[in-house]
Each structure stands twice: as C-alpha cells, then as structure tokens.
Amino acid sequence: MRGSRIFLGIAVLLILIAGGALYVALKPEGRTSITLTFHAKMGKTPLVFDEFVYENPGGTGTFRVRDFRFYLSNLTLSEESASFAQPDSYHLLRFDNPDTSHSIVLNDVPLGTIDHVRFLIGVDPDANGSIEVRGDLDPNSQMAWNWEVGYKFVVLEGALRVGEDVSPLVYHVGFSENAREVAFALPPGVSADDDTEVHLTVDLAKLFDGPVQIDMEAMSSVKFNRADAKMLADNYATMIDPAF
Amino acid sequence: MLRVFLTITAAALIAAAWIIWDRTRGPVSTPIADFSAPFIFGRFAVPPDNPLTEEAFSLGRHLFYDPILSGNNQVACASCHVQALAFTDGLAKSPSLSGGELGFSSMSLANLLWGQERFFWDGRAASLEEQALLPIQHPDEMDQDLDALIGELQTSRAYRKMFRRAYGEVSADNIARALSTFMRMLISSDSKYDKYLRGEERLTAQEEHGRKLFMAHPDTKVSLRGGNCIDCHSQFLTSGFRDALDGFSNNGLDSDEDLPDGLMAVTGNPAHKGFFKVPTLRNIAVTAPYMHDGRFETLEDVMDHYNDGIVVSDTLSPLILEADNAPQAGQQTVGLRMTPEEIDAIIAFLHTLTDDAFLTNPQFSDPFEGGT
C-alpha cells in the first residue's frame, strides 16, 4: 500500500517534469508581429488614378491608370536559423483607396526577430492551376482568366491619349513562369522592434521602363503572348523596393 | 366537487402557462441544414444577426408573395419577380403605381449569396437587408408606410406567430431579415452547365465552342478568339465580381451625352459614371428583355451589341473597347467582330445556364397557392 503510494507520487512527479520539459522544448522562442505596407507610386510620387498625367515612357502621348493590382504570394519571414512561411499566403494588393497603399499584417509570427522578407509577385504554379479558394485567390474574381489558364498576376488597365485619339491600355500578365521573387534583408534598426513596420514602394513606372522600355502606342496590350508577358514580368520583377 | 374544481383550476393554470410561455419564449431557430452550395461558387457571408433558419425562410417566403406589403394591398414582391422567369417580370421596365413605368428593369434573384455585395442596378443598397425595404416604401413601387405595414401584420394571427417563431417581434428590421433570408436561399445550381462542371453531363460541340469563347478574352497576336464575356461575368457564377466595386461596369450602351449616372450617383466618383451592376447570366434565356433598361429584346440583340454596336464613352470598360477578334484595325464600328457561327455558339452556351429545377422548385413558389 505504502509502496504503491510512493510509486504514484514518483509517477506524478515524472509526468510533471516531462510536461515541463516538453513545454520548454516546444515553447516558441518569441512572438513578433510585422506590418508590410505597400505604397503605389509612379516614379517618386504617389499614384494618381484616372487622370492623363503620365508620359508614355517609350513613345509619345500621355496615359492614365484606371486599375492597378497584383497578387503577392508565399510570404516568408526568417531570422538566422529559422523561418516562417505564412499559410495560404495569397494577397491581392489593390490601391484604389485614398492612401493608394495596401497593408499586410502578420501577428504572432513565431520568430524572435525578423531579418529577412521574401515573397512572390504572382502565384505559385500549384495554386495557379487550382480552383480552390485560398487567401485572396478566387476563381470567380476579376483576376481569374479561367480555370484552364490560371490567374492574372499583375493587372494594369487605362488609356493612352495621343493628340485627340484615346485608345485602351490592357496589360494582363500571368502564366506560372512569370512569378518573380522579391527578397530583402531588414536593417538591424527595423528588425529590433517587436512590432516591426516595413514600408515598401511599388513603382508602376518600372513596368514600362525597366530592362525593356515600352512604347504604349506600339504595345497597347499584353495578354496571352508569352514573349510579351515575360518582358513585362522581367520589368515588374524590380518594381518593389523596401523604403527604410 | 372540490377535487373536480382543483383539477379544472390546475388544467386552466397549465394551459394559461403554456400559452404565456409560447407567446413569450424566444424564437425557435432551426438552422437551414441541407442547402447545397457548390464549392466552385466560392465563399459567402451571412450577416451574424440574421442566420439562415427555416422559420425565417418560411416567413420571408410568405412576405415575398403577399400583396399586404404594398400600400394598396395589390402589389407583392412577386408581382415583378416571377419564379418561372428567374424572378424577373418579362418587361423592359416594371410598371409604376402611377401608371407609367419604372426607370429600371426588374432584376433576376438567383445566387445572391455570391457575387456583388451591393444591390440594385446602381448599387445603392449595401446589403440585402437594406435593399429589401426600399421597394416597399418607394412611392412608384409598393408605396407602403413601414409603421402601417407593421400594424397590418400585427393584426394577423398567422404573421404574429411566424414572426415570433423566426425572430420575436414584428418590426421593420425583421421584415427585411426574413425577405433577405428567402432571397439568399434562391440558389440556382442545377443547370446543364452545373451538371457539366460536376461531370454528370456533356455539352454539345456547339455549346462547348460557346463555353470556350465565353471564357476567352480575344488576342489576335496568338490567334485566340473570344467573346470576352468572362471579363465581367465570372466563370462559375456568371455574375459580376464580388470584390469592392469590381462587379460594376460601363458596357458601351450610351454616349457621354446620354450616359446615365449609374454607380456614380452612389459613390460620387466621375470614373463610375454609366457603371451598372453586372447581372448573373444564370437563367438568362428566360429573363428577357436585357440590360438595366430592358432595351434589348433577345439574346441575339445583346450579342449584336457586343459584336459591333458598342458606343464609346469616357468610362467605357477598356476591356470591351480593346477586345476585337479581327486582326486589321476596325472600320467604323466597335465590337468583338465574331462570326455568326461564334455568336450562335455563345448563345447556345448561354442556354445551358437555364435551371429548370430552380424555375419550378416548389419551395420557392407562392405559399398561398396550396404549396407548402
């Protein structure tokens, strides 16, 4: 009787120790939150919608932007030894608001500090070939071409005015090969904070004025031609920059 | 004698208690459990303060079909929303109480759980609950004072009971909630197109050709021909888009001089002038005439409009202006420039969106006509 009571006591003690050890082992090292705010710009100044105020970078005339939006996916945050990939990380960034900005907020990131940020402009091939609703992916949305083609990654629509003539501009860039990775390190001053705020600029001008300079009059639309789409993708690969 | 008296008293007390309990207890909510929502329709949201219940649906269905909702007790919601016509009325513009006609065509009511979250052609209502009370009070539509309506409903024992079971009291908010629940449950998901998507039926060669054209924005650079429908009508729902104001568009009906305000009247944004709600194409073959003002009588007329009848205005969708199947520059007309065979194929596909089960579903019918 006495022996079994001692045995029970030891068992309880062991369970407590094991539980404590497990708790210590599995307890996240730290929790931090991060806000990524993307600011749409044309060059250095905030984007203005619906006004003919921008020069055709590769030709004559002025253009206006009616719609600009893109998918950002597979957001991954990391510190030296660990990384955190946001689950169902599909964000539609649109800028039709007074600040022409879009924020992504991640709370409870299981990392002590955040040193690196990485994401795709566009959608990964797996999700691009699926009709599942995940994050901001929606097969019944304006960003879906159709289930056989996948999603538009970057959309810019507007009009070009040359003299008296106004003609439509339609740039819809998709296809899995045109997802482009963006990665950058956070300077120590930014990552030290427990509630990290990062501002990024999205420069639309880079879409037409990057490795390739585009005359909107000669190329007023990009849709399913893969060479044209790749050209724009190589341009938009550099449109996002952190602003520290 | 005393025993009999006591028994009667006890019985009376029990009966009284039961009646009081029945009158004062909270609503009986039976969640609607067995409705089918195809996953390809995507996410939907029901307001937290108006869950889908059998009691609310039943009340909403009675209200929808009851002319008691109008000032003269002659016009019901169902007067302009007829089930056999996918809840439209077959008229270009619905009749006005004052004898003329209203400014707009009666909209089909199907799959309202999905698609745009703004209602009416110009999007002036931000929820179904907000929408439901407006035609009731509109002087040209049903011309009813809400307090008078509540008074009338309270004189009816049947309505008092239905309201009590569904929500509690008879109130304007609860009228709106019940009508909204009925409308939310008007789900059309059994057309030939749905059966094709579920792998239960095949499309004919012509319908399949039409489906492909429906789903494609034309690109002459890669010889892709398209009817461009999907740029405004989503691939599965065939309605306008849900996100923000994406489900509103200017589809080239009028010139700048004649362009009505449309969505601009609601947002105040000049970029929205002439924007109207993109309607669902579900059951489109039975909802003629077409457009917000019913100006086109047939689907052929609609296709002719998109093929070579587009009227250019400043806010016209660039996707419509840019979409052209002919490689050489346009002549005088603006449009898709498809062949007659392609137009016929798209119309054949549109007919696969007719859902006879929806148009005849007894659960959506007039409950005052011997239905259940």
Residues A79, A83: Cα–Cα separation, whole Å = 6
In this structure, what token pair is assigned to residue B85? 């016509």
Mean pLDDT computed over A79-101: 96
Q: By CA distance, what is A132's nearest residue in B?
A: B40
Determine how many CB atoms are found less than 10 A away from the CB of residue A22: 10
| Cα B330–chain centre separation | 37
Beta-ladder partners of A241: A201
Using an 8 Å Cβ cutoff, are A119 and A66 in contact? Answer: no
Residue A224 clears pLDDT 50, i.e. is over it: yes
Using a CB–CB cutoff of 8 Å, tell me whether A159 touches chain B: yes
Using an 8 Å Cβ cutoff, are B336 and B228 in contact? Answer: yes
The torsion region of residue B120 among left (phi > 0), alpha (psi -120 to 50) and beta comes to: left
Using a CB–CB cutoff of 8 Å, tell me whether A224 touches chain B: yes
Residues B235, B238: Cα–Cα separation, whole Å = 6
Residue A19: per-residue pLDDT: 58
Task: Give chain B positions within 8 Å (CB) of A173.
Answer: none
CATH level 3 topology of B21-187: Cytochrome Bc1 Complex; Chain D, domain 2 (1.10.760)
Mean pLDDT computed over A205-213: 94
Q: Provide the sign of the torsion angle of the four alpha carbons B108, B111, B114, B117, taken in this order.
A: positive
Residue B37: pLDDT band (50, 70, 90) is: confident
Residue B317's nearest CA partner among B274, B282, B260, B284 is B274
Residue B372: per-residue pLDDT: 43
Q: Specify the residue for token string 């932007």.
A: A65
Q: Give me the numbers of helices (H) and strands (E) for chain A, helices first please.
A: 5, 15
pLDDT over 70 for what percent of chain B? 97
Task: Please judge whether B243 and A168 are an interchain contact, meaning their C-beta atoms are less than 8 angstroms apart.
Answer: no
Residues B277, B291: Cα–Cα separation, whole Å = 10
Averaged pLDDT of chain B: 94
Nearest to B318 among A66, A92, A223 (CB): A66
CATH architecture of B192-357: Orthogonal Bundle (1.10)
Residues A145, A155: Cα–Cα separation, whole Å = 11
**CB contact burial B38-72 (16+ within 10 A = b; e otherwise):** bebbbeeeeeeebebbbbbbbbbbbbbbbebbbbe
In this structure, what token pair is assigned to residue A79? 């510190």
Task: Please judge whether B243 and A142 are an interchain contact, meaning their C-beta atoms are less than 8 angstroms apart.
Answer: yes
Burial of A62 (C-beta count, 10 Å sphere; 0-12/13-18/19+) = middle
User: What is the reported pTM?
Assistant: 0.90
Using a CB–CB cutoff of 8 Å, tell me whether B88 touches chain A: no
Residue type, A169: L
Using a CB–CB cutoff of 8 Å, tell me whether A193 touches chain B: no
- Residue-wise pLDDT tens digits, A7-66: 666 666 666 665 555 554 444 456 889 999 999 999 999 999 999 999 999 999 999 999
Residue A137's nearest CA partner among B40, B188, B113, B213 is B40
- Residue-wise pLDDT tens digits, A56-72: 999 999 999 999 999 99
Rg (CA), chain A: 24
The answer to which of A210-219, B5-14, B207-216, B300-309 has the lowest mean pLDDT is B5-14
Residue A126's nearest CA partner among A78, A88, A173, A169 is A88
Which helix or strand (DSSP H or E) is residue A116 part of?
strand A116-121
Residues A140, B37: Cα–Cα separation, whole Å = 14
Using a CB–CB cutoff of 8 Å, tell me whether A244 touches chain B: no
Task: Please judge whether B217 and A157 are an interchain contact, meaning their C-beta atoms are less than 8 angstroms apart.
Answer: no
Residue A15: per-residue pLDDT: 62
Q: By CA distance, what is A221's nearest residue in B?
A: B322
Residue B5: pLDDT band (50, 70, 90) is: confident
Using a CB–CB cutoff of 8 Å, tell me whether A124 touches chain B: no
Mean pLDDT computed over B297-325: 96
pLDDT over 70 for what percent of chain A? 86
From the CA of A157, how many Å to the nearest CA of chain B?
7
Mean pLDDT computed over A124-136: 96
DSSP string, A200-217: EEEETHHHHBSSSB--TT
Domain residue ranges of chain A, discontinuous segments joined by +: 1-29, 31-243
Domain residue ranges of chain B, discontinuous segments joined by +: 21-187, 192-357
Residue B238: per-residue pLDDT: 98
DSSP string, B338-349: --HHHHHHHHHH
Residue B371 clears pLDDT 60, i.e. is over it: no
Task: Please judge whether A225 and B321 are an interchain contact, meaning their C-beta atoms are less than 8 angstroms apart.
Answer: no
Task: Give chain B positions within 8 Å (CB) of A64.
Answer: none
- ipTM for the assembly: 0.89
Q: By CA distance, what is B245's nearest residue in A?
A: A96
In this structure, what token pair is assigned to residue B276? 């109207």
Task: Please judge whether B217 and A172 are an interchain contact, meaning their C-beta atoms are less than 8 angstroms apart.
Answer: yes
In this structure, what token pair is assigned to residue A10? 């030891």
Determine how many CB atoms are found less than 10 A away from the CB of residue A149: 18
- Residue-wise pLDDT tens digits, B67-83: 999 999 999 999 999 99
From the CA of A137, how many Å to the nearest CA of chain B?
10
Same fold, B21-187 and B192-357: yes
From the CA of B269, how many Å to the nearest CA of chain A?
10
Question: At a CB cut-off of 8 Å and minimum separation 6, what does A127 contact?
Answer: A73, A90, A134, A137
Question: At a CB cut-off of 8 Å and minimum separation 6, what does A189 contact?
Answer: A244
| Residue B119: φ, ψ to 5° | -125, 165
Task: Please judge whether B322 and A221 are an interchain contact, meaning their C-beta atoms are less than 8 angstroms apart.
Answer: yes
From the CA of A79, how many Å to the nearest CA of chain B?
35
Using a CB–CB cutoff of 8 Å, tell me whether B215 touches chain A: yes
Residue A143: per-residue pLDDT: 98
Using a CB–CB cutoff of 8 Å, tell me whether B321 touches chain A: yes
Task: Please judge whether B217 and A220 are an interchain contact, meaning their C-beta atoms are less than 8 angstroms apart.
Answer: no
Residue A27: per-residue pLDDT: 44
Residue B65 clears pLDDT 80, i.e. is over it: yes
The answer to which of A179-193, B13-27, B156-170, B356-370 has the lowest mean pLDDT is B13-27
Residue B182 clears pLDDT 70, i.e. is over it: yes
Residues B286, B85: Cα–Cα separation, whole Å = 5
Residue A3 clears pLDDT 90, i.e. is over it: no
Residue A20: per-residue pLDDT: 56
Residue A244 clears pLDDT 90, i.e. is over it: no
